[in-house]
Amino acid sequence: MLDTFLEALSLLGRLDEHVLAIVWLSFKVGLSTVTLATLIGLPLGALVAVASFPGRSIATVVLNGMMGLPSVVVGVIIYLILSRSGPLGGFGLLYSPPAMILAQTVLVVPLMAALTRQIIEDAWREYANEFRSMRFSLRHTIVSLLYDCRFSLVVAVLAGMGRSLSEVGAVMIVGGNIEGFTRTMTTAIALETAKGDLPLSLALGMVLLSVVLVLNAGAYNLRQWAMRKYG
Amino acid sequence: MFPIKLSQVGFTPDGRSVLAGVDLEIDVDGITVILGPNGAGKTILLRMLAGLQAPHGGTIRWNGNGLPAAGIAMVFQHPVLLRSSVFHNAGLGLQPLALGRAETLRRTQHTLERVGLAHRAADSARLLSGGERQRLALARAWAMQPKLLLLDEPTAALDPSATESVERIIREIRSDGARIVMTTHNLGQAMRIADDIVFLASGRVIERAPASRFFARPQTNEAKLFIQGELPWRIAFDD
Amino acid sequence: MAYRIRRLILPLCAALFGTLAQADESIVLASTTSTDQSGLFGYILPRFEAKTGIKVKVVALGTGQALDTARRGDADVVLVHDRPAEDKFVAEGWGVERRDVMYNDFIVIGPKTDAAQVKATKDVVDGFRRIAAGSAPFISRGDKSGTHAAELRFWKTAGIDPKAWSGYKEAGAGMGPTLNMSAALGGYTLADRGTWLSFKNRQDLEIVLAGDKRLFNPYGVMLVNPAKYPHVKKDAGMKFVDWITSREGQETIAAYKINGEQLFFPDAKN
């Protein structure tokens, strides 16, 4: 156990180009996923928080439930959709980064929307009178609430980034873990573990962990700064 | 918009009667102060005038019509400001008006100058003092250039100098052509700025009179008691 | 504000997606974990790519999954090791141009203590009988892979129904995880030599039986039928099929060694 750990540490000292390419791809996929999921999930969560429509409570329950969606299930569904014999097969997207981004977006949007809904619902209680008196449209209400909660929403975005970076089931299935093309940190870890190369997978795991820690530390500092600046 | 006519307006949340048979007409000019004991339904009346609360009984007509699409602004007792700059907050009410970027900026800047907050435009709204926050809330409403401005206890919890500057701003907004309807617990303030008084008690309008006459010669016993009971205490506290 | 966000997001999207799009010619090769994880592809594919400029994207699965992937049209070329399944695949019209490529051999892996005395025999079927009679567990791939299919054939020949035996555990995973599990449980398993040689977490495992002719493990390559799936990259795919069975391809396979040991033996019929 200790030997494995020490060997992993020594591997970290000589991160080669090959490993850095994997880390970089993870980032690209993660950032693209989070960008897309932010554009969809935040307004969606805010909409469910603010709009009154029949079935709103059902939408809330569905959103919360989908947070726990197993990534493998999403992977298989997206696989079947993108497969050449599936409905979107004509685009030839399977086993490519866009397929991974798509699958992860499906996975991450409910998570980000559900967190956003909670945050926005609290803010909405505070602002409802003001915004109504200013005759804000639904769009203005959502935009202003998202803007007002921007620093709290970092948590939602970060949760999405964390899930995207650490997720393995969906990217493995739709990406195919192709070396130099769709191999991310998590699928590489799965592969190295399968090959019995535990030090290397541990080293990759440490890279993943430090990335997530750095992101969280950054977000924490951002919130501290925002709290001082904006109250 | 004017005159605004309330006929037999009732408000009965959970079966409890707060307003019962309120008849009131708000015409085009002046500052109307609604007075009355706690729980008399003053705030609810303002919310109804703003169209935020539908009456449970009776009708409200704005110049014979339903709620106008624009022209009403309201400042709440505890205004909530966005976690953002003073400038952004001041221009918030202009967003739905789609005035265009240049006009929005011009109006926001102008209004901030008039409430004396232009030098703090870039600061965070939530870090302002109580008096400054209230002035910003007034600026936000003023920038919308409302025909009717509703103020709910605009100087509650403010110190005398902040109260004075808020009252000055209220007068300026009126000279700008806005009809003002407000509530207050501060009888001294009502004397200073009201053109006319609406006295609300037991869910009804008990007395309506020009301010000078209301305070000099109240017509009803309730109003007399209210002025005598409240006046010394409030003056001692607020002024 | 909205404008500011838009100004920020659009170039970001463009940058992210732009770098992900690749214009190089490429084929998808559905293959097995044994060829990929043994490092063979890592050795031979750069040579093919340098020669032809065609990038080969390897999706490593079990043989059964690899063939299913090709049946759905999600691969251009298949390289697997389960002759009966390959013949069925071709007979059903999913694949064309099937050719022998190489073989390696299966080996029986077990704990050094070898409680079931498998080392005492050279006969794989006898070895399986000894395992079933012993107390140490047997870890099966259980994933419809070529190795799994071979293992099931040995049980059948031995006349044993492994599922009736409590020591039989199905990992439902690739070769590596199955070896990890065997190491952890001190059990026996059937492995391909390539994966074993490159496998690092051996702990107390070693080869307990090898060399039986029935452990011969042939690999075949085939093109997914372009008549079934018009998008199949027929020319690039055929270049790969031709190259790997060519003299150059065959010599490259033979040249791949781990610790001086050759893993795959070319047997294309030229």
Q: Which residue is closest to A146 within chain C, CA to CA?
A: C2
Q: Give the DSSP letter string of A174-222.
A: HHTT-TTTT--HHHHHHHHHHTT-HHHHHHHHHHHHHHHHHHHHHHHHH
Question: In the structure, what pLDDT confidence band is assigned to residue C14 with cuts at 50, 70 and 90?
Answer: low
Q: Among residues B229, B190, B185, B186, which one has the least CA distance to residue B212? A: B190
Q: Among residues C89, C99, C102, C151, which one has the least CA distance to residue C125? A: C151
Q: Among residues A106, A110, A122, which one has the least CA distance to residue A62? A: A110
Q: Which amino acid is at C116?
A: A
Give me the domain span that covers residue C158.
106-215
Buried b (16+ CB within 10 A) or exposed e, B116-143: ebbebbebbbbbbeebbbbbbbbbbbbb
Per-residue pLDDT at C229? 94
C-alpha distances in Å from residue C112, one per residue of B230, C183, C203, C207: 98, 11, 10, 8
Q: How many CB atoms lie within 10 A of CB C4?
A: 8
**pLDDT tens sequence across C63-74:** 999 999 999 999
Note whether C100 and C222 are same-domain residues.
yes
Mark out the alpha helices in chain C (DSSP H runs).
2-20, 33-37, 40-52, 63-71, 83-91, 124-133, 146-158, 175-185, 193-198, 234-245, 247-255
**pLDDT tens sequence across C99-109:** 999 999 999 99
Among A84, A85, A194, the residue with its CB nearest the CB of C37 is A194
Asked if C125 and C154 touch (Cβ cutoff 8 Å), the reply is yes
Question: In the structure, what pLDDT confidence band is assigned to residue A134 with cuts at 50, 70 and 90?
Answer: very high
Residue A196 has pLDDT above 50, yes or no: yes
C-alpha to C-alpha distance for B232 and B235, rounded to whole angstroms: 5
C-alpha to C-alpha distance for C223 and C226, rounded to whole angstroms: 8
If you ran DSSP here, which 8-state letter would residue C188 be given? B
Per-residue pLDDT at C7? 59
Residue B139 resides in a domain = no
Note whether C120 and C149 are same-domain residues.
yes
Note whether C110 and C196 are same-domain residues.
yes
If you ran DSSP here, which 8-state letter would residue A1 be given? -
Domain architecture of chain A: domains with CATH: 16-185 (1.10.3720.10)
If you ran DSSP here, which 8-state letter would residue C213 be given? G
Across the range C50-70, mean pLDDT stands at 94
Note whether C9 and C63 are same-domain residues.
yes
pTM of this structure: 0.84
**pLDDT tens sequence across A153-194:** 998 999 999 999 999 999 999 999 998 899 999 999 998 888
Cβ within 8 Å, pair B124-A230: yes
Note whether C62 and C115 are same-domain residues.
no
Residue B33 resides in a domain = yes
Boundary-marking domain end, from C173, C195, C215: C215
C-alpha to C-alpha distance for B173 and B178, rounded to whole angstroms: 6
Across the range A1-21, mean pLDDT stands at 76
Note whether C110 and C98 are same-domain residues.
no
Across the range C198-226, mean pLDDT stands at 93
Note whether C189 and C225 are same-domain residues.
no
**pLDDT tens sequence across A28-61:** 999 999 999 999 999 999 999 999 888 888 988 9
Note whether C63 and C122 are same-domain residues.
no
Q: Is A191 at the interface with chain C, CB within 8 A?
A: yes
What is chain C's length?
A: 270
Asked if C57 and C9 touch (Cβ cutoff 8 Å), the reply is no
Q: In a 3-state reduction of DSSP, which class is residue C120?
A: helix
Domain tally, chain C: 2
End-to-end CA distance of chain A: 48
Q: What is the CATH number of the domain that holds B180?
A: 3.40.50.300
Per-residue pLDDT at B239? 36
C-alpha to C-alpha distance for C30 and C68, rounded to whole angstroms: 10
Buried b (16+ CB within 10 A) or exposed e, C25-52: ebbbbbbbbbbbbbbbbebbbeebeeee
Q: Is B90 at the interface with chain A, CB within 8 A?
A: no
Residue B200 resides in a domain = yes
Residue B132 resides in a domain = no
Backbone angles phi, psi at B211, to 5 degrees: -55, -45
The C-alpha R_g of chain C, in whole angstroms, comes to 21
User: Distance, in angstroms, between C268 CA and closest chain A CA?
Assistant: 26
How deeply is A163 buried, as exposed, middle or buried, from its count of CB atoms within 10 A (0-12, 13-18, 19+)?
buried
C77-80 and C26-32 strand pairing: parallel
Structure-block tokens of residue C207: 């080869």
**pLDDT tens sequence across C75-131:** 999 999 999 999 999 999 999 999 999 999 999 999 999 999 999 999 999 999 999
Per-residue pLDDT at B232? 42
Per-residue pLDDT at C130? 96
Cβ within 8 Å, pair A35-C13: yes
Note whether C22 and C76 are same-domain residues.
yes
Distance of CA C151 to the CA centre of its chain: 14
Which chains contact A through at least 3 pairs of Cβ atoms less than 8 Å apart? B, C
Mark out the alpha helices in chain A (DSSP H runs).
2-13, 17-50, 56-66, 71-82, 97-133, 138-148, 150-166, 169-175, 185-194, 198-230
C-alpha to C-alpha distance for A74 and A76, rounded to whole angstroms: 6
Note whether C100 and C228 are same-domain residues.
yes
Beta sheet of B19-26, edge-to-edge order: B19-26, B4-11, B57-62
Structure-block tokens of residue B97: 């008006």
Please give the mean pLDDT across all residues of chain A: 91
**pLDDT tens sequence across C156-188:** 999 999 999 999 999 988 899 999 999 999 999
Residue B73 resides in a domain = yes
C-alpha distances in Å from residue C263, one per residue of B124, C5, C42, C196, C259: 69, 56, 13, 10, 10
Residues 141-200 of A with CB under 8 A from B: 144, 147-151
Contacting residues of A for B50, CB less than 8 Å apart: 133
Q: Give the DSSP letter string of C222-243.
A: EEE-TTT-TTS-HHHHHHHHHH
Per-residue pLDDT at A199? 85
Distance of CA B194 to the CA centre of its chain: 11
**Mutant choice from A195, A197, A198, A202 vs C, greatest count of C C-beta within 10 A:** A195
Q: Is A231 at the interface with chain B, CB within 8 A?
A: yes
Give me the domain span that covers residue B186.
4-80+148-238
C-alpha to C-alpha distance for B185 and B208, rounded to whole angstroms: 17
Per-residue pLDDT at C8? 59
Note whether C66 and C147 are same-domain residues.
no
Half-sphere exposure of A92 (CA within 13 A, CB side): 12
Interface confidence (ipTM) of the complex:
0.89
C-alpha to C-alpha distance for B90 and B117, rounded to whole angstroms: 10
Residue B57 resides in a domain = yes
C-alpha to C-alpha distance for C94 and C112, rounded to whole angstroms: 44
Note whether C110 and C100 are same-domain residues.
no
Contacting residues of A for C37, CB less than 8 Å apart: 191, 194-195
Domain tally, chain B: 1
Q: Which residues of chain B have pLDDT under 50?
A: 231-239
Asked if C41 and C35 touch (Cβ cutoff 8 Å), the reply is yes
Q: What is the CATH number of the domain that holds C97?
A: 3.40.190.10
Per-residue pLDDT at C171? 92
Contacting residues of C for A32, CB less than 8 Å apart: 13, 16-17, 20
